[in-house]
Amino acid sequence: MQIVTDAVPGEWTPVRPFEGIMVLDITHVLAGPFATYQLATLGAEVIKVENPQDCDQSRHTGASPELNQSEMGTNFLAQNSNKRSLALNLKLPKGRAILEDLVRRADVLVENFRTHAMDNLGLGAQDLRAINPRLIYCSITGFGHGGPRAAQTAYDHAIQAMSGILAVTGTPDGEAVKAGAPVVDYATGMMAAFAIASALFHRERTGEGQTIDLAMLDTALLLQSAQITGYTAIGKEPARRGNKHNYASQNLYATRDGQIMLAASNTREQTRLFEALGYPDRANKSYQERAAGYDEEQAFLARIMLEKTAQEWEDYLQSRRVPALRVRALPEVLRDTQLKSRTVLHEHPHMPALGGAASVPLSAFTLEHGGPSIEFPPPRLGQHNVEILESLGYGQAAILALQAERVI
């Protein structure tokens, strides 16, 4: 597996898209931190602001109880590399004053608290853009800042339930099933990063800052674009179909030792599938014929797939340009030789929280020039308090006073 490691001090690296951009990250859990993580890997200076008495809850969650106890849970480690940490109590006037000082220098502020929570502190979009008109203020909430649900709160699994995603996942005779990964949170984070990049591009052209209102529910609906258009066009409600797709050649099948997902989607691929199986006459000439013969074709393929192991079918069908991949668990995926040629993971050789090495996801794309990279591991709570405050002109005595007053 090709894994990028921490940069060596003094080595030259290409200029990345967001170098010189300061981002104030007042987010917690997943969608917000994942958005700012995207910007951080592309060169932005990201300052993560957390309450010193009530930090980001993801610091307390993840695979290791010991790391959770030390406020460096793996859920936090996954998406906070390349960020500096400022522990700052925004409920206190002096804490808000420090944030306002940072806003004067910042390009972007991202928050994902309940609707109007920042307004109630005097730190809403209008308040802070009055201080810095060029500021891009991104607010991520469950339902947005307008409408009858604006005051409601939500998490990924709740939005999956409310948006219709959960209703169409699972089998027809079983209960609704949540997607295993928090897909709405991750999609919302990526949507936020895209929105911020768009706003920065707009500012480059016009000089104008602006406010971004981004809702998790809206993102979840975009993830169901085809289903929504199908329903609004002809009134066809999406059905819970489990692993069954539109055609039998696109289903999950049991093999001699595991499961394989056939993905022969178009008619050319379905033809190649049956030619590879030795039954060319079974190929259909139209999508309508494939739909009409669904049950019989599924029963036939279910019998055939039991003749070989999942890996044998994968190797055989892929060699004949038929999309087919067996089901793998994550540990095996991470050992796959394909990853040796990619840079999706970054290895921190010396993760302070662990006392050893650990890998985190980096990016799903590369750029020819100045692509995503990670220079330093996720910070401990308040790790950069002194250097950030000194950059704002605070002396040692003032910093100690802020500590005593529990502002930092």
Residue in 88, 93, 87, 140 with CA at minimum distance from that of residue 117: 140
Q: How far apart are CA 305 and CA 6, in angstroms?
A: 45
Contact 172, 199 (CB under 8 A): no
> H-type helices in 175-322, by residue range?
183-206, 216-222, 225-234, 267-277, 287-292, 294-305, 310-319
Active-site position among 56, 127, 185, 281: 185
Question: Is 185 annotated as catalytic?
Answer: yes
- Whole-number CA gyration radius for the chain: 25
- Give exposure, 244-269, as e/b (b: 16+ Cβ within 10 Å): beebbbbbebebeeeebbbbbeebeb
DSSP string, 55-84: --GGGG-SS-HHHHHTT--HHHHTT-TTEE
Residue with tokens 């920042």: 118
Q: CA dist 329 to 27, 259, 342, Å?
A: 31, 12, 19
Residue with tokens 């039991």: 306
Longest dimension (CA), the chain: 85
**Tokens, residue 130:** 């009055």
> H-type helices in 70-154, by residue range?
74-77, 93-103, 117-120, 125-131
The residues assigned a catalytic role are 185
